[in-house]
Amino acid sequence: MVTLQQQLSIISLDKPEDIPQIVRLLENPQSPVALPGAITLYNHDCLHVLLEQKNSPEEEAFIVGFCMGNDPATKRIHVFILKFFARYIYPKHPKNYRFNKDCLLEFDRGFYYGKTFKEFRFNRINFFRYANNSVDKLQEHFGISKQNLLQLRLQRVLEAKARIKKTRIIPKQTRLNRSINFFKWSSSICALVGGGLLASNISYSKFGFVGLAMSSSQLLVASLLAKDKTMIIYSASVFLGVDLLGIYRWVFS
């Protein structure tokens, strides 16, 4: 049987003097401008144990969100203020207290989970009286389901994997789209130059077919990259074929 105090002695805890002043200003219940859900450092650490959250920035954000969601006094403006300060004002050094996008997602996850607890206000519980109680018994007492905690962790892992997969796919697609757009724009410019030369009816007009051939070639490359079968056939057989015939007849003859 592992007690709450024993589990607290295992995890890495922040000291009160290590907490930045701006963080204590908004999240310490003794602050005159503390937001709803403000909690003492000891209770905060106890929630880490009971909710089976470690000390990653995302899990810290989960606990903060849980406390705000669990406090019925929390309004939208309070959530906005906390998120704004945590996203842009909280210090990065020596320890990073700022929320990134993943932290904001975890804050919301904790917030809505905290709202499901109607009977207890966790930021007001005197956890010192429970220090020698079993963690399992305390979870049962407060209605903290291990199955729900497992589902939350599973959601976190699956979403993290999806974000990693997305970051791998999007740059590849972006580079491909940029290449396609480059060849399309270059093809248009070459077509304008080549067509202009032919329309001008000057001594160099015959070289307009060179510009048109370059335009058709680049359109063919763009079509191949886009895997557009219709445009591949169209640009290769009609445009490029006619332009090469023009070069043969007007430039090399």
pLDDT of residue 53: 92
d(CA 216, CA 221): 9
When pLDDT is cut at 50, 70 and 90, the band that residue 65 belongs to is very high
pLDDT of residue 252: 67
What separation in angstroms does the CA of 163 have from each of 42, 70, 112, 156, 169?
A: 33, 28, 21, 11, 10
Over pLDDT 90: what percentage of the chain?
49
Over pLDDT 70: what percentage of the chain?
87
Burial of residue 142 (number of CB atoms within 10 Å: 0-12, 13-18, 19+): middle
pLDDT of residue 116: 94
pLDDT of residue 239: 62
d(CA 2, CA 114): 24
Whole-structure pTM value: 0.65
When pLDDT is cut at 50, 70 and 90, the band that residue 25 belongs to is very high
More confident position, 216 or 107: 107
Burial of residue 144 (number of CB atoms within 10 Å: 0-12, 13-18, 19+): buried
Residues paired with 3 in a beta bridge: 134
pLDDT of residue 164: 67
- Whether the CA torsion 71, 77, 78, 80 is positive or negative: it is positive
d(CA 124, CA 142): 13
Average of pLDDT values for 90-104?
89
Average of pLDDT values for 31-36?
95
When pLDDT is cut at 50, 70 and 90, the band that residue 82 belongs to is very high
Domains in the chain: boundaries: 4-144, 173-250
Which residue reads 């399992």 in tokens?
136
pLDDT of residue 94: 77
Find out whether 91 and 22 touch, Cβ atoms under 8 Å.
Answer: yes
User: Mean pLDDT lowest for which of 7-21, 39-53, 112-126?
Assistant: 7-21
What separation in angstroms does the CA of 101 have from each of 61, 86, 88?
A: 11, 11, 12
Burial of residue 194 (number of CB atoms within 10 Å: 0-12, 13-18, 19+): buried
Which residue reads 């002695």 in tokens?
9
Angle at 113 between CA 110 and CA 118, to 5 degrees: 130
